[in-house]
Chains A and B, each alone.
Chain A
Amino acid sequence: MNLVLAKTDTERAVSNVFATARDRLPGAGEVAEARRRAFEAYERAGLPHRRIEEWKYTDLRALMREVAPLAGRPDAAAITRAKAALELVAVDGAAKLVLVDGVFVPELSGIAELGAGISVRTLREILENGANDARSDLLLTSTTDAVISLNTAMVTDGVVISVADGTALSRPIQIVHVATASSASAFTRSHVKLGKAARATFIESFVAAEGASAYQANDAVILWVGDGAELSHLRVVADAADAVNISSGIVTVGAKAKLNLFNMTRGGAVSRYQVFITLAGEGSDLSVNGINLLKDKQHGDTTLVVDHAVPHCTSRENFRAVVDDRGHSVFQGRIIVRPDAQKTDGKMMTRALLLSDEAEADNKPELEIFADDVTCGHGATSGALDESLLFYLRARGLCEKDAQALLIQAFLGEAIEEIADESLREFVMAQAERWLEVRR
């Protein structure tokens, strides 16, 4: 029997999930056709597994026991529960766009707060009613990754944001995904497009309503940072302890632009954030950083591909993982420097802190350099807390957990300090402290 073609129970379940969900997925005609093609593409590849290089450390066939059926539309009670959960990831001053179980909920959202120069629509509304070209655009992606194909096939909703040229948003936009249903899945996709010289802060967060468990989120975000634009993008994954979160980012950065991206994972049984960034215009600065906070048997994967397609761009990546108990952190970072991309300056550093003997970290930084006049480097370390530092703190009166917490905060600070915006920095540190609090 050919192993590659053999389907697992999980995959058969996915086929059923698509068949039963089909009628509830927004969009007819071309959209439905795009979904069908995407699903076929997904079926050819199957769920990613360890023999696929990019998924070597995150074998979804093993980690996702079953694919949950599509979550139903949230009812009034679910929306009330979702509202209570918003507090957990509240960012001061942010205009919230709330998706509950994969459905946009206007009554929890504050589109009106955003002011002029920005257009926000839901993906559902465009897929159902938009002009043909707008609709098909939304489902196009350049990647062939199976989980993105699955997202294309199954996506129910999301937001489509466009910031006009020269507009500087006065408050952050925050998409909050709230899961209320248990053992159900949500597929979401959002588009954020910054016009020339526009400035914005875009936060995306995932959180569970009380009682929501064993749910699965598959999210995709497609970002364009226009020429001369500046975007701060923060992600916070604070899912329920037994949830699965597979998120993809596809990012294109124009010329003389700045993107400051930070990913934080502090929840979920299995999570993967895979982000594909293309530096498509000269003279741009990219800073991609993140922290994974994992305990129990949590598995957290950050996979990053930075494609320097043009000359004179700078990229900096700084990742930290803190892994306790039997947690497993994965970091894969690939910097590609195309033959034309002379004067590229790229540096990547990833460090893991292992708090228990059974904690695990896989770091795989890679450089693929096809140009000759570049400065690129990467480094990876993993290890335990320094005993002599711990003892110094304890000799000054800090108990073991507090001494550890102080050193962990310092370790995380090395990545958190890369966040350009001070209030976001504080927000992330507070989220990290929440995680540390539970350890005590």
Chain B
Amino acid sequence: MALLEVRDLHVRVEDREILHGLDLTVNAGEVHAIMGPNGSGKSTLSHVIAGKPGYEVTDGQILFKGEDLLAMEPDERAAKGVFLAFQYPVEIPGVATMNFLRTALNAQRKARGEDEYSTPDFLKKVREVAKSLNIPQDMLKRGVNVGFSGGEKKRNEVLQMALFEPSLCILDEMDSGLDIDALRIAADGVNALRSPDRAMVVITHYQRLLNYIVPDFVHVMSRGRVVKSGDKQLALELEASGYAQFEDAA
């Protein structure tokens, strides 16, 4: 059984169809890259998988570990192992990062019937993960993403991913806004999470990221569909030729 199975997905936003019959199959252990021009629907797909309100699925289905993902609340999806690292993480003033991380982690564990982390265990775990991602402790003392630079916000997303240990990680342009060193550290963090029972979907515009996180499959999205799939070679070809060839196909 595939970890994620998207079949003939049609999605509308405010009466406009954005995804027009998208198919995507992701198995455990695989890394998939999704590339495609601005506005082709990459973030829309990631939002629909995570359960963001405001999107109407008019046709098709999404199965996650064989279950109907679209029937689940966003928090159920998270507890079952779906994680989206947002393209634009929001700032939440007044909610301390540590409190947020602990509340979220324990909510997920509780939903799965696991024991909640004790405060010392939790702190130990966060410190380890933060250290491996080169995230300073005082960043964790602030409000969630408040006053973080663009790159710091992205690193905070990877931190959460490492902490929650999801089985499906969707990374929406995690490379945008990261400097070269930060990119390598974040990519190392992602690679460290690669495992036979976990899959990654990496949305990016740049082949460079795929040098660090080497994909098993590369998909090209255009106008709301996957129009071509291949291996990592495809990303290199795109870098050379651009997306013009797919405009007609879509």
Q: Which A residues have a C-beta under 8 Å from some C-beta of B?
A: 386-389, 391-400, 402-403, 406-407, 409-411, 413-414
Contacts and interface: CB of A to CB of B under 8 A. Distances in A.
B152 to A, nearest CB: 16
A395 B46 CA distance: 11
Contact of B52 (A391, A397, A403, A406): A391
A393 B50 CA distance: 12
B75 A399 contact: yes
Given A392-B92, A400-B75, A413-B94, 8 more contacts: A392-B86, A395-B52, A395-B78, A395-B84, A398-B107, A403-B75, A410-B92, A410-B95
Contacts of A389: 90, 92
A398 B50 CA distance: 13
Contacts of B90: 386, 388-389, 392
Given A396-B104, A398-B107, A391 B92 contact: no
Contacts of B54: 387
B156 to A, nearest CB: 11
Contacts of B95: 406-407, 409-410
A21 B9 CA distance: 75
Contacts of A388: 90
13 contacts: A395-B77, A395-B84, A396-B104, A397-B78, A397-B105, A397-B108, A398-B75, A398-B104, A402-B107, A406-B95, A410-B92, A410-B94, A410-B95
Contacts of B191: none
Contact of A391 (B74, B104, B105, B164): B74
Contacts of B93: 410
B53 interface: yes
A400 B73 contact: yes
A395 B78 CA distance: 6
A116 to B, nearest CB: 41
Contacts of A400: 73, 75
Contacts of A414: 94
B111 interface: yes
A406 B77 CA distance: 20
Nearest to B110: A397
B103 interface: yes
Q: Which of A387, A393, A400 has the most CB of B within 10 A?
A: A393
Please list the 5 inter-chain residue pairs (A to B) with the smallest Cβ-Cβ separation, ordered nearest first.
Answer: A410-B94, A397-B108, A397-B78, A396-B104, A394-B74
B153 to A, nearest CB: 11
A396 B81 CA distance: 10
B163 to A, nearest CB: 10
Nearest to A399: B75
Size category of the binding interface on chain B: 20 to 34
Contact of A397 (B86, B89, B143, B164): B164
Interface string B63-74: 000000000011
Contacts of A386: 90
Contacts of A397: 75, 78-79, 104-105, 107-108, 111, 164
Q: Which of A392, A393, A397, A410 has the most CB of B within 10 A?
A: A397
A407 B21 CA distance: 36
B86 to A, nearest CB: 7
B167 interface: no
B164 A396 contact: yes
Nearest to A406: B95
A398 B92 CA distance: 14
B53 A407 contact: no
A11 B86 CA distance: 61
A407 to B, nearest CB: 7
Nearest to A417: B94
A392 B54 CA distance: 14
A396 B111 CA distance: 12
B40 interface: no
B166 to A, nearest CB: 10
Contacts of B86: 392
A383 to B, nearest CB: 15
Contact of B78 (A396, A402, A407): A396
Contacts of A407: 92, 95
A5 B146 CA distance: 57
Contacts of B108: 396-397
A400 B53 CA distance: 12
A232 B86 CA distance: 44
B104 A393 contact: yes
Contacts of B41: none
Nearest to B104: A396
Given A387-B53, A392-B86, A394-B78, A399 B107 contact: yes
Interface string B179-191: 0000000000000
Contacts of A411: 94
A392 B89 CA distance: 8
A406 B74 contact: no
A58 to B, nearest CB: 29
